[in-house]
A and B are shown apart, each in its own frame.
Chain A
Amino acid sequence: MIKYILKRLLNMIPVIFIISILIFATVRSMPGDPVNAYLGMGSKVTPEQKEVIREQLGLNGPMHEQYIRWAGRLVQGDLGESIKYKKPVTELIGEYIWNTFLLNVISLILAVLVSIPIGIKQATKKYSKFDNFWTVFSLFGISVPTFFFGLVLVFFLSLQLGLLPMNGMRDPIQAAFGYPNIFANLADVASHMVIPVIVLAFGSFSSLSRYVRNAMIDVINQDYIRTARAKGLKEKVVIYRHAFKNALIPLVTLLGSYIPSLFSGAMILETVFLWPGLGWILIEAINSRDLSVTTAVLLFSAVLMLLGNLLSDVLYSVVDPRIKTE
């Protein structure tokens, strides 16, 4: 198994190399001069000084030279410095990533807990009223633009009813004056999380429950399910033990690929809720031409994506006794 993983990681290197070129080229071809962004509006600097700054930022010379310099530092673990925040990008990502993770992990756990029993029940009562209801419900979830759903919830729950905070992660006044205790701090963050979690969990629930339903329907029609019934097992045991353990194979594979996106998911939503996560800093960075941050976040997401694919393949071979990775 370790040999297999190492081999896959080795195979990943050329892919990452090409992806890094694509990402680098994309980011560098954004219009606008990052040096101007660095200097801020209305600053009076001579062209000579500008060139000095350009060199400091590593933006001088032809594109391929820039790439080689950037990649050289990348290999040493240096992702450069943020123009906007004036600190190392690694530090910046390390700071914000956990906010993204917090939001995503809670939503995913909720979605998994609800979608599995519902998806299974849908499969056992295919085309029943119950099944049709949840099929349509989950179609809502994959059809609504997440940010719009978020906006509507904020509009009604926060603005009209005043039940929940509108955006951000903490109440600015409370945070500025300090929380009386840790529970007040947690409660504040939790209340800010309610709407984004609902939106995210609704989306994940929708795709997961559909997945569970279809995987279970595939399994329920298999011959070994009939064998299990012929043994005299209770229908519950047949479904939850014999059938579900088989449906778990594709499901675990899917969930494996979700894990990395816990660190990078929900980018547009973070902008809507001003949630200080990775998506938020990416869009800020793009808007302010903070090139090193943009490149780093993109590359980071790409690496996560590749690791997600690897993880799901590894999990697949773990849960399915038929697969041997040797």
Chain B
Amino acid sequence: MSKDQVIEPNVVVREEDQEVLGPWRIAWNKFKKNKIAMAGLILFVIIVFAVIFGPIIMGQSVNDFDFAAKGQGPSLSHLLGTDEQGRDVLFRLLLGGRISILVGVVSAVITVLLGVIIGGAAGYYGGLIDNLLMRFTEIIYSLPFTPMIIALGATMMWVEGNIKMIVVSFLIGLLSWPTLARLVRGQILSLREQEFMQACESLGLSDFSKIFKHLIPNVLSIVIVNATLSMASAILTEAGLSFLGMGVTEPTPTWGNLMQLARDISRFQNMPWTWMPAGVMCFLTVISINLVGEGLRDALDPKDVR
């Protein structure tokens, strides 16, 4: 026996003597050890800081045009060049990031709210309510996502500017919740079968405390992981939608409508600095969120002992 395994002579260190860590603490410790996930988190934080503070530091406004430098390539005064109207690409890229990430966040919030409420109610109350809600969920789930979101985007063409951003977030959220609702319902159904819920029942706890103190914490890990992943996919959806011209439209920049610039063949070929950075940023943001989501999934999985 090597010496370092012996803590102290004559002392048996029992499990009870060790520091008892809460589940969240354990998850965080696991997450911290996951280098790939931590890299994702750091990347995401950097991007968020850049899009929030970058435009402030650059001190421009959306309507700043540099008439002397129209359609110029990257240079010291315009790090990523300018577009045909003489707008600074980097500035618009960072502004666009704000909108794209915000759309992701808002859509994810809507997805989570609808998913948890509908799935939770169906699983918890069962019977007729479950039946009706799940029928409804099935219908929304059966709507073909991409064509439907494109069509809905087209019906909302008349909305303009920043309100369109909110509209797009709602559309994405409204079509995305069924997956989460099904997961939450399934989880709650299996929790209800477990003994601790029967114990709650026999103790006569109210619906409120049963739902909020016992069920929600147990479905929280599913919800957290799903929220991150749906945020990532909402950013991608917004990008696709705006790329087709059916999402957020000019003059409000988003990564999607910045990439739309590539649909003009001469710009696509001759001014790649106008559209390529938006795609790269979109990719980096989504991958960083996905890395965090993966890390959370592993960290919150009690079965995964690494």
Residues of A within 8 A of B (CB): 15, 18-19, 22-23, 26-27, 29-31, 127, 132, 135-136, 139-140, 142-148, 151-152, 155, 159, 264, 267-268, 271, 279, 282-283, 286, 294, 297-298, 301-302, 304-306, 309
Q: Determine which of A19, A23, A148, A279 lies in contact with B282 in the assembled complex, contact meaning CB atoms within 8 Å.
A: A148
Q: Which residues of B contact A271 (CB under 8 A)?
A: 244
Q: How many angstroms between the C-alpha atoms of A26 and B154 in the bound complex?
A: 9
CB distance from A271 to the nearest CB of B (A): 7
Q: How many angstroms between the C-alpha atoms of A30 and B155 in the bound complex?
A: 4
B142 close to A306 (CB less than 8 A): yes
Q: Determine which of B151, B236, B239, B291 lies in contact with A27 in the assembled complex, contact meaning CB atoms within 8 Å.
A: B151
Q: How many angstroms between the C-alpha atoms of A95 and B154 in the bound complex?
A: 25
Q: A144-B287, A298-B151 are in contact. List 14 more A-B contacts (CB 8 A).
A: A23-B143, A23-B151, A27-B151, A132-B36, A135-B36, A136-B36, A140-B287, A145-B236, A145-B259, A145-B282, A151-B268, A152-B276, A286-B154, A301-B144
- 12 A-B pairs within 8 Å (CB atoms) are namely A15-B142, A22-B143, A26-B155, A132-B36, A151-B268, A152-B279, A155-B268, A267-B150, A279-B146, A279-B147, A298-B144, A306-B142
Q: How many angstroms between the C-alpha atoms of A294 and B142 in the bound complex?
A: 17
Q: How many angstroms between the C-alpha atoms of A31 and B156 in the bound complex?
A: 8
- Digitize B47-69: 1 where CB-to-A-CB distance is under 8 Å, 0 elsewhere: 00000000000000000000000
Q: How many angstroms between the C-alpha atoms of A132 and B35 in the bound complex?
A: 11
B291 close to A139 (CB less than 8 A): yes
Q: How many angstroms between the C-alpha atoms of A132 and B34 in the bound complex?
A: 11
The prevalent SS among residues of A at the interface is helix
Q: How many angstroms between the C-alpha atoms of A268 and B272 in the bound complex?
A: 20
Q: How many angstroms between the C-alpha atoms of A31 and B159 in the bound complex?
A: 10
B152 close to A143 (CB less than 8 A): no
Q: Which residues of B contact A143 (CB under 8 A)?
A: 232, 236, 283, 286-287, 290
Q: Which residues of B contact A306 (CB under 8 A)?
A: 142
- Digitize B246-265: 1 where CB-to-A-CB distance is under 8 Å, 0 elsewhere: 10000000000001001000
Q: Kindly report which residue of chain B lies nearest to residue A15, judged by CB atoms.
A: B139
- The answer to whether A148 and B259 touch (CB under 8 A), given A26-B152, A31-B155, A282-B150, is yes
